[in-house]
């Protein structure tokens, strides 16, 4: 068995792969592959409906919000958010906690003013800034809930009276959230939702239609919502696999249950990092992410040998992002706790050898 700690696209449940591969051969008794059916068939419309329903159910999305399936990745949302919500001359507040947040605020500057309320850039984003002010006349406040590259995560929503927009690409569906605290949530699917090619947005309806900029149809939330996520041809297969994955999550007991597993997995690995004299964590302890665990070795010369040692045990995807170095173990929903224990065992064995 390969232990896939990759940061994304990432591990999905084996049963999802099996069901998805079956549908490539024949989808739902149609005699056709999922890859050759029209997105306008009742069979596929049922897939979109179920996917949206599962998102609403699993995240407990309240009335007054629309769930919409888009393309272009989270990166297109960096632009779509200000295009739809930030009028020229207005200012949006951004918290800068990493590369993705930086890219998001760069796009916002095309459409209006950006106020970076706090940043941990000078410390290579090793912590989440606290005690910042969000001016009450901001058009919205944007933050990244989980910083995939640095391994930091905001578990609570910063206090503010302005609409909150959140990039949840790498921790959505990993823990219970209160959607009513947000005006807009978006996420590239390719972590805990499904394969790459699909982007999820959860939009509070009342925030739309407030600015008079002309917006291209494809980039207009209202057009996409009114089109039922089918304004144009949607990413049929990515939606289908996401539906299977959300069904799997529901069968596991939903987000509250998977959150317990995610807590156990991350606690076990952080405990080893803190205990093992060869390793150390890279970010401030109170901001540690459950999804992406970043660590380095006290002696950097041992990093290459440890990577090889891990690979020999079928542990893959743990090389850290180039801007942090060392290691990053991404532990998304589908990663079994047995894989985490295999990594911990490897760290212990390696430490025994290098005492």
Is 193 or 203 the residue whose CB approaches ligand PMP more closely?
Answer: 193
Is 119 or 170 the residue whose CB approaches ligand PMP more closely?
Answer: 170
Would you call 100 a catalytic residue per the annotation? Answer: yes
Contact 325, 296 (CB under 8 A): yes
* DSSP string computed for 243-303: HHHHHHHHHTT-HHHHHHHHHHHHHHHHHHHHH-TTEEESS-GGGB-SSEEEEEESSGGGH
CB of 146 to ligand PMP, least distance (A): 6
Provide the mask over 181-200, with x wherever binding to ligand PMP is found by CB under 6 A and - wherever it is not: -------x------------
Among 49, 109, 191, 274, the one annotated catalytic: 191
Question: Could you tell me the two tokens for 134?
Answer: 């969000």
Query: Strands of 113-119's sheet, edge to edge?
Result: 65-70, 199-204, 184-188, 164-167, 141-144, 91-96, 113-119
Question: Could you tell me the two tokens for 92?
Answer: 């949006």
> Quick check: 8 binds ligand PMP (CB under 6 A)?
yes
Is 41 or 75 the residue whose CB approaches ligand PMP more closely?
Answer: 75
Binder among 144, 229, 242, 262 for ligand PMP (CB under 6 A): 144
Would you call 56 a catalytic residue per the annotation? Answer: no
Which residues in 70-129 contact ligand PMP (CB under 6 A)?
A: 73-75, 100
Would you call 287 a catalytic residue per the annotation? Answer: no
Q: Is 199 annotated as a binding residue?
A: no
Q: Is 181 annotated as a binding residue?
A: no
Contact 304, 276 (CB under 8 A): no
Binding site for ligand PMP (CB under 6 A): 8, 73-75, 100, 144, 148, 167, 169-170, 188
> Which residues are marked as active site?
100, 167, 191
Binding residues for pyridoxal 5'-phosphate: 74-75, 100, 148, 167, 190, 232-233
């Amino acid at each position: 068995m390969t232990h896939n700690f990759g940061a994304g696209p990432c591990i999905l449940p084996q049963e999802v792969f099996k069901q998805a591969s079956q549908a490539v051969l024949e989808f739902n008794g149609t005699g056709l592959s999922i890859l050759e059916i029209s997105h306008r068939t009742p069979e596929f419309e049922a897939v979109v409906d179920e996917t949206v329903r599962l998102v609403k159910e699993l995240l407990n999305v309240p009335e007054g919000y629309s769930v919409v399936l888009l393309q272009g990745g989270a990166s297109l949302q960096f632009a779509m958010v200000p295009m739809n919500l930030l009028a020229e001359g207005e200012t949006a507040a951004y918290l800068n906690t990493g590369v993705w947040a930086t890219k998001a605020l760069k796009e916002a500057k095309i459409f209006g003013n950006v106020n970076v309320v706090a940043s941990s850039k000078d410390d290579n984003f090793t912590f989440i800034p606290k005690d910042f002010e969000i001016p009450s006349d901001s058009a919205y406040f944007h933050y990244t809930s989980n910083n995939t590259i640095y391994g930091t995560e905001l578990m609570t929503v910063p206090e503010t009276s302005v609409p909150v927009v959140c990039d949840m690409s790498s921790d959505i569906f990993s823990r219970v959230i209160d959607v009513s605290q947000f005006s807009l949530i978006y996420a590239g699917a390719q972590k805990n939702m499904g394969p790459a090619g699909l982007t999820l947005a959860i939009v509070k309806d009342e925030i739309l239609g407030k600015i008079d900029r002309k917006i291209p149809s494809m980039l207009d939330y209202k057009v996409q919502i009114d089109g039922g996520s089918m304004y144009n041809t949607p990413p049929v297969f990515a939606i289908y696999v996401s539906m299977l994955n959300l069904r799997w999550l529901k069968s596991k007991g939903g987000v509250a249950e998977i959150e317990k597993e995610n807590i156990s997995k991350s606690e076990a690995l952080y405990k080893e990092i803190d205990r093992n004299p060869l390793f150390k964590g890279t970010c401030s302890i109170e901001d540690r992410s459950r999804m992406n665990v970043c660590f380095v070795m006290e002696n950097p010369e041992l990093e290459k040998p440890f990577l090889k040692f891990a690979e020999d045990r079928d542990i893959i995807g743990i090389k850290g992002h180039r801007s942090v170095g060392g290691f990053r173990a991404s532990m998304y929903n589908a990663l079994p706790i047995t894989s985490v224990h295999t990594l911990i065992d490897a760290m212990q064995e390696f430490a025994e050898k290098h005492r």
